[in-house]
Amino acid sequence: MLEELSFEKVCELLWLQIEPLWTFPIDAHFHQGYRVGVVLTLLAVILLSVLWRIRRFFRRRCREVVLKGDNGGLTIVAAAITDAVELALTGIAGLSVNNCRMYRSGSKLRLEIRCRWEQSAGAALPQIDDARKRVAEMLRDTFGIQNVKRIDFRINGVIPRGGQPASVPPPVAPAAPPSI
């Protein structure tokens, strides 16, 4: 019987099987609800996959960096990286480091260095570019961290020419101990 059927006849039979899936009479509310359910399910799956990808590549703050070796791993905490950043930036005049935050995006690391800038040091941008190079070299040479994607500086305050930060009151001399 299959040999008697031509290609056109086979296509017509398949069409008759498939056509009722999207054409329906007005009273067939079940089919209409079924189609809406299928479409909503597909949209939900697409939305969840997009949200999963966004979450995966969204930056996450991390407290430590783990470097894996042949015989084990090396964990470097954020305080050690902050100390290394402060050590790398000691030679740059006018820059006072407050803290350093690390963010992970996939396998890449991003540093945000929060600091204060001294007003008498001049323009910050050329010296910050030099500071980025120093920090990247320090992390590479000291810890072997090579997956730093970006090093951002965030200047939280300006130290005026007098030397004291504008938002911090001048220090008060300690009271003399009572004499006996």
Widest Cα–Cα separation across the chain: 122
pLDDT tier at 20 (50, 70, 90 boundaries)?
low
- Per-residue model confidence as pLDDT tens digits over 73-118: 888 888 888 888 888 888 777 788 888 888 887 778 888 888 888 8
pTM over 0.85: no
Counting residues of the chain whose pLDDT is more than 90, the rounded percentage is 5
pLDDT of residue 178: 64
Task: Give the chain's domains with CATH numbers.
Answer: 7-52 (no CATH), 60-159 (3.30.300.20)
Mean pLDDT is highest, among 30-34, 64-68, 159-163, for 64-68
Torsion over CA: 135, 139, 140, 142 (sign): positive
Report the C-alpha gap between 97 and 99 in whole angstroms.
6
Phi and psi angles of residue 56, each rounded to the nearest 5 degrees, phi first: -65, -40
What torsion, rounded to 10 degrees, do the Cα atoms 126, 131, 136, 137 define?
110
Angle between helices 78-88 and 124-142 (to 10 degrees): 130
Can you give the pLDDT at residue 44? 94
Q: Which two tokens stand for residue 174?
A: 């300690």
Q: What SS3 state is found at 108?
A: strand
